[in-house]
Structure 1
């Protein structure tokens, strides 16, 4: 059916089989990846970041009621997310093809862009310091070095554009995943399978600079209404940042230890200033070795800063809670000693820097 519509099948991802491979259960959930550079290239010419959402994808899954569903990204979502203008005719053509592929014998649902973009487009972009080819090679090598991560496919959008007589600056998509992290998100809401596996777009912009872009995992989780998965999202954030930048310190690691947020209470019961120890952050060492936090700092958006005590070490699997108010420090409880609240109730950013002043962990909310 895909080929009959003038499209080329790129990859098929059986999320349920991948879940089973790591001992997890997931109802039948399969992602189809397909495209046509004659249709996709003009969208990337209009906005290169669109390449992170191309080729097109279609998710087929069985829900908890036994109903088979087909989900895909509405072209309106792509246009709004990537600020695409002047392509209405092409977007309408894409919508027609996707609707035909979804068919009428199952309940098809398009991912509605409304209400999803208030917090930005959800694309994190970092600057590269090498060519596109060299950056792609570096990322591929990084992925190959991680046993839990598999490279699903790579798509050279520029080469595909050239194959149909169109021009596009160097633009390459890498698709990769780790079912240990992706499966819990799909168990919470299967529809997130359309945004998994993870994707990383490497491209040369109009100024000749190389950029590396990836989806903000918290944006994607919010898009699919997933809550209560902070630990998984923190791990994904750290891994993506590390892979994109090539800086292992950016994934919250120190030796074999790895720091993650295990819990957050930013809005204390009652008046915050009268209940400071109901405002806290819990950290966990999710790595395999001890994590020496001596000299590490925690700061909010206004740069209110806490410094971990000298000699404070978090063992593998151990947690420590940092309370805003006063108390006696222990191996599992630390106290900032503030006279007033730190974390804004509505929105804030928590940044942890290691002893060298490098960002080891960053978390924004809501």
Structure 2
């Protein structure tokens, strides 16, 4: 079941069951409440989406730790996989705060943003909703930091979002 997630005040609000809207000026975004995954439809092909995201990350002064070409790795293993690249990035001063609340939160930090192409050729950027991460790790003392992280990832993905 797809739900509409709307950026609000540095966070995401998930409402009703909706399909991505087209032509209304709002970014094409969906999230599933069951797994906390937020997906943002890109207005650009795969290579341009990756380029725009990496430029936006750099422009914000955020450290890009790794770019993992998952489809390239799959090809090396003899497995056909649609284009899929994982960007791993973050701001240690922000991310480390979550780990001081619960060291196991390090499983979700730094931030991972998956860029992939679906079976119809559409390109998506997907990440784990930060409220879901907070709930997963029982972190209740970092609301401002989670709000900031939500604001930043929404800004980064808006650089490629369909409108």
Which residue number in structure 2 is paired with residue 144 of structure 1?
Answer: 58
Q: How far apart in 2 are the matches of 1:183 and 1:132?
A: 31
1:200 pairs with one of 113, 119, 124? 113
TM-score, normalised by the number of residues in structure 1: 0.34
Q: How far apart in 1 are the matches of 2:96 and 2:68?
A: 24
For residues 105-136 of structure 1, the C-alpha deviation after alignment (integer angstroms, 9 at most, x for no partner) is xxxxxxxxxxxxx9421110010011111101
Which residue number in structure 2 is paired with residue 217 of structure 1?
Answer: 130
Q: How far apart in 2 are the matches of 1:172 and 1:184?
A: 27
Larger helix percent: 2
Instruction: Compute the displacement of 1:228 (Å).
Output: 2.3
CA RMSD, Structure 1 to Structure 2 (Å): 1.4
Which residue number in structure 1 is paired with residue 94 of structure 2?
Answer: 181
Which residue number in structure 2 is paired with residue 107 of structure 1?
Answer: none
For residues 332-352 of structure 1, the C-alpha deviation after alignment (integer angstroms, 9 at most, x for no partner) is xxxxxxxxxxxxxxxxxxxxx
> Which aligned pairs between 1:264-303 and structure 2 lie closer than 5 A?
none
For residues 236-262 of structure 1, the C-alpha deviation after alignment (integer angstroms, 9 at most, x for no partner) is 001001111217xxxxxxxxxxxxxxx
1:135 pairs with one of 49, 56, 76? 49
Instruction: Compute the displacement of 1:154 (Å).
Output: 0.5
SS of 1:166 mapped into structure 2: coil
Unaligned runs of 5+ in 1: 1-117, 248-366
Q: How far apart in 2 are the matches of 1:243 and 1:146?
A: 9
Q: How far apart in 2 are the matches of 1:119 and 1:190?
A: 24
Q: How far apart in 1 are the matches of 2:154 and 2:33?
A: 19
Q: How far apart in 1 are the matches of 2:54 and 2:74?
A: 22
Which residue number in structure 2 is paired with residue 164 of structure 1?
Answer: 77
> Which aligned pairs between 1:37-48 and structure 2 lie closer than 5 A?
none
**Count of residues in Structure 1 that have an aligned counterpart in Structure 2:** 129
Which residue number in structure 2 is paired with residue 50 of structure 1?
Answer: none
Instruction: Compute the displacement of 1:182 (Å).
Output: 0.8
Does the CA-based 8 Å contact 2:101-2:141 persist in structure 1?
Answer: no
> Which aligned pairs between 1:71-82 and structure 2 lie closer than 5 A?
none
Moved over 3 A (4+): none
Q: How far apart in 2 are the matches of 1:232 and 1:211?
A: 26
SS of 1:167 mapped into structure 2: coil
Which residue number in structure 2 is paired with residue 236 of structure 1?
Answer: 149
For residues 174-229 of structure 1, the C-alpha deviation after alignment (integer angstroms, 9 at most, x for no partner) is 00010121111111111000110001011110111111101101101111110021
TM-score, normalised by the number of residues in structure 2: 0.76
SS of 1:225 mapped into structure 2: coil
Unaligned runs of 5+ in 2: 1-31
Which of structures 1 and 2 has the bigger CA Rg? 1
SS of 1:174 mapped into structure 2: strand
For residues 291-336 of structure 1, the C-alpha deviation after alignment (integer angstroms, 9 at most, x for no partner) is xxxxxxxxxxxxxxxxxxxxxxxxxxxxxxxxxxxxxxxxxxxxxx
Q: How far apart in 2 are the matches of 1:167 and 1:206?
A: 13
